[in-house]
Structure 1
Amino acid sequence: MTQMLSDFPSINSNASDLPSFAVVGAGVIGLCVALEAQRKGYAVTLMDSNEPGTAASFGNAGYLATELVEPLATPSTMRDAPKLWLNPNGPVCIPWKHLPKAVPWYSKFLATASDARSEHGTRVISALNRHSVSAWRRLLEDLNAQQLLVNVGNMVVWEDPKKKNDAHALIEKMARHGLSCEFVEGQRLAELEPELSQQLSHAVYFPEAYRLTDPFAVCQRLFNEFTLRGGQYIQQKVMGIEASKDSIQIYLEAQKAHPFDQATICAGAWSKELLKQVGLNVPLEAERGYHLTFPEKQQQHLRHMVLSADRRFVMSPLDSGLRVVGMSEIGGTSLPPIKKRYAVLNKHTKALLPKAYSPGKEAPTEWMGHRPTLPDSLPVIDQHPKFARLSFAFGHQHLGITHAALTAELLLQKLQGEPTTVSLNPLRVDRF
């Protein structure tokens, strides 16, 4: 279904004379923005060097993580950081080859770890989370694809019985953010997750937790609808962008300039270099994450999404199979995966779900991707401070799937001068 530039002698031409809109980046954010722009009356051209939905959007756990309300940089994170970094089976790793390039990012990360800054970030993330599920419902209803969002529930689990106070503290925190959950152990825990219960002491259960059936399958559905509605897709790398008050010029691999009335950069971890070309320097880093995916028939091992508080990884029973997701590395976009990270994920999964490794079971596939992460864990949803025709939607770190549909709504509200559902002032591109 991919269409190349040669298919379009003039990629801005359209018989209806609609204003032209370029979306750079065909991940879940870009796809949602492209569809929302179409609904608002634009002729949209989507651009990416990859097939739609095959970068970071492909490999996540697929669930709307509305319980993740805190930014990465908090005082408690700083207290735990040495222990996390030194643990060979822990969730954090530093690829030393990339460290010199990442020093400016770490400096800003540390600066945001104060009580005041982390509380501010929590308020903003919580506000975005509150509207995320309803935004996905609106998007999927418009596509007649409501079945792609399912309520399967989420569990945060502990193996150590001495950490029951942690579970109750989580319940109190979630109540402050309007999230319903309950403490479970014993028979109730066994009923909810029979194959996990023997390894666990207790859990916090979120009955109103949602996931997509499969993130890549959903991206494919979004892309198919985009093209059916007249959208153009160009699988080429965007080499350059020039912004003015009158139009946006986009240069593809052929180096020919293509003018658009509006353009949005949704290129994830690759957005930083494009922003430099229009005079903006953002401290964006690629936070590498890893996953294992067990075959489809093995998803039956779990009934809910499961987040291990002790081991800090996620297991998600997607339609395509059981997906195990974890690890955080500020490692850039060019280094190869660190193979031992897959071994760590296998070790943690086997500890909680030993039947997944029974004789005769198929081995899981391995994957590594790049989360676009800013030091304060907040995305950018904004227009260029000088050139309003150029806008941005990137930097969603661990919440790209969660915030994708809402981001598209917010961005188009801003572009059309409408009141935004959530205040976008904390999400300015020039806030750093």
Structure 2
Amino acid sequence: MNQPCETVVVGAGVVGLSIAIALQQRGRQVTLLDRSRPGEGASFGNAGFLATELNDPLATPDTLKAAPLLWANPRGPVSLPLAHWPQITPWLWRFVKAASPRQVQVGQQGLRALNQSALGAWQRLLRRLDLIDELVPSGYLQVWEAEHAGSQAEQQAEKLAGWGIDSTVLSAAGVAELEPELNERVRHGLLLPASHQVRDPYHLVQRLFERFMEAGGRFQQTRVISVRGGQMAAQAVTEQGAVDAHQLVIACGAWSRQLLKSTGVDVPLQAERGYHLTLPRAGSVLRRPVGSADRHVVMTPMSCGLRVVGMSELGGLDQPPIEQRFDTLRHHASALLADAEPVTRDHTTWMGYRPTLPDSLPVIDQHPQQPSVYAAFGHQHLGLTQAAITSELLAARMTQQDTRIDLTPYRINRF
């Protein structure tokens, strides 16, 4: 691996792989490095739909007001394990600061700029690769169980309309007509008819990887220890030796902070642990992704089964999964489905690491002191959603082309 190559991308998840392909399509020879096989990180276990409506950052005044109750609820969506408090406290302080009205506005603008271009970018990428069948125009349904929650659905619809997103408020009967297998306790719904999902995010990454390799890409499964950059060349130092390149991209999700620190830049990136259940024999129970506004879980029908996703656990990279989180997902899925029997049958469990920055905006930038090094990470809950548009933007930046979107909100040194 000491033969120089043109471009190295560190990270074989959906973001890194999309960037590698975008660079290939601009004539670059690309080598992909990852400690795991492609798609085995956060890309494996996400909810599988393009959440282009999520234009609010995680840190808002409403989030801060609700946080104590969410943390106190043993079946709530937020967890901060006590063992990780010393490490997480500085990040939490930055999170609180990011909830200022001005910063929330910046976050909304930055997220909206990426999200409104996300679907088109995915369609372009998948059509070029003859993989458009992986993207499904499914729609997305958000539901509420409280009888008085109709006003919340109306307010959400009005907010989405302000962003140019069409939606339809539904009564309990309307929800039941669309999704007859939901529990009758669901009283209100909001349908986003233009939303899309993928058939299976892991299968998508596998097919992207096949196209990457067929086009002459290189892959090595190895842990990258550090990165060195300069004006005209970069180097990835791995367990198996050094890999030289003209340009290098750090796109390894929650592990990106460690590599960026080796270049002299530190960013407040936190590993936000997410959990899922997959019910392999229940893939046809629902017709589209369904998200519960009350329970903060999403259920998505996939080719691999019904995927139940939830939890935001700020627990770092080192601790094992907490079994109670899976119990919480079982509880919520059982309550939302009319027939809870599929939840009690055989299912698989998974925990992965979302890369989350306090302001919820990703880094999409060139290193401020080492121009041969670039970075794309920190997409929090929107890695799948924003992967294709991120690849277009970063590849354009690396090849001195117009990015079409102002990248200032996503700069490395904004903190």
2: distance between equivalents of 1:308 and 1:11? 51
Contact 1:135 1:405 in 2 (8 A): yes
- 5 Å-filtered alignment, 1:20-419, equals 20-196=6-182, 198-254=184-240, 256-295=241-280, 297-357=281-341, 362-419=345-402
CA offset at residue 338 of structure 1? Answer: 1.0
Retained in 2: the 8 A contact 1:121–1:376? yes
Is contact 1:189–1:197 with CA below 8 Å preserved after alignment? no
What SS does structure 2 have at the residue aligned with 1:337? coil
Amino acid paired to 2:341: Y
Contact (CA 8 Å) 2:183, 2:335: kept in 1 or not? no
- Quick check: 2:229–2:371 contact (8 Å CA) kept in 1? no
SS in 1 for 2:49: coil
Give, in whole Å, the separation in 2 of the partners of 1:326 and 1:141.
31
AA aligned to 1:216 is Y
Q: Within 2, Cα distance between the matches of 1:237 and 1:11?
A: 18
TM-aligned CA deviation for residue 55 of structure 1: 0.6
Code of the aligned partner of 1:427 = Y
Does structure 2 conserve the Cα–Cα contact (< 8 Å) formed by 1:301 and 1:356? Answer: no
CA-to-aligned-CA distance 1:229-287 (integer Å, 9 cap, x gap):
00000001111211111210111113x33220010000100011111111101000000
Aligned length: 415
Change in Cα spacing, 1:260 to 1:85, as seen in structure 2 (3 Å) is same
The reply to whether residue 12 of structure 1 matches residue 4 of structure 2 is yes
* CA–CA distance in structure 2, aligned partners of residues 337 and 215 of structure 1: 21
Runs of 4+ in 1 over 6 A off after TM superposition: none
- Paired with 1:72 and 1:363, the residues of 2 have a C-alpha distance of 33
| Equivalent position amino acid for 1:300 in 2 | S
Shift of 1:116: 1.4
Q: In 2, distance between residues paired with 1:313 and 1:25?
A: 27
Secondary structure in 2 matching 1:198: coil
Check whether the contact 2:282–2:342 (CA below 8 A) recurs between aligned residues. Answer: no
The AA in structure 2 aligned to 1:200 is V
CA deviation string 1:329-352 (max 9, x = no partner): 111100011110100100000001
Q: Distance in 2 between matches of 1:86 and 1:130?
A: 35
- Identity, in percent, stands at 46
Deviation, 1:193, is 0.6
Q: Identify the residue that residue 16 of structure 1 maps to in structure 2.
A: none
Shift of 1:380: 0.2
Q: Secondary structure at the match of 2:69?
A: helix
> How many Å apart are 1:356 and its aligned residue?
4.1
Q: Distance in 1 between matches of 2:360 and 2:262?
A: 24
Unaligned runs of 5+ in 2: none
**Deviations 1:345-377 (CA, angstroms, capped at 9, x unpaired):** 000000011424259x63221110000000000
AA of the residue aligned to 2:163: H
- Please state how far the C-alpha of 1:290 moved relative to its aligned partner: 0.3
Offset, 1:37 = 0.6
In structure 2, distance between residues paired with 1:319 and 1:167: 30
Measured after TM superposition, the shift of residue 119 of structure 1 is 1.6
Shift of 1:187: 3.0
Contact 1:143 1:225 in 2 (8 A): yes
Amino acid at match of 1:193: E
Give 5+ residue unaligned stretches, structure 1: 14-19
Q: For residues 200-248 of structure 1, what are the alpha-carbon distances to aligned partners after superposition, in whole Å with 9 as ceiling and x for unaligned?
A: 1010001111011100000000100000000000001111211111210
Alpha-carbon distance between aligned partners in 2 of 1:315 and 1:237, rounded to the nearest angstrom: 33
Task: Return the letter of the residue paired with 2:396.
Answer: Q
Root-mean-square deviation over aligned CA pairs = 1.2
Kindly indicate whether residue 403 of structure 2 is the aligned counterpart of residue 420 of structure 1. Answer: yes
User: What do the CA deviations read for 1:282-331 (whole angstroms, capped 9, x no partner)?
Assistant: 00000000000001x31111011101001111000011110000000111
| Amino acid in structure 2 at the alignment position of 1:222 | L
One-letter code aligned to 2:370: F
TM-score by length of 2: 0.98
Contact 2:232 2:247 in 1 (8 A): no
Aligned partner of residue 273 in structure 2, secondary structure:
strand
CA distance in 2, matches of 1:353, 1:152: 19
- Give the secondary structure class of the aligned counterpart of 1:56: coil
Q: Which amino acid aligns with 1:382?
A: D
User: Separation in 2 of the partners of 1:421 and 1:398?
Assistant: 23
Normalising by structure 1, we get a TM-score of 0.94
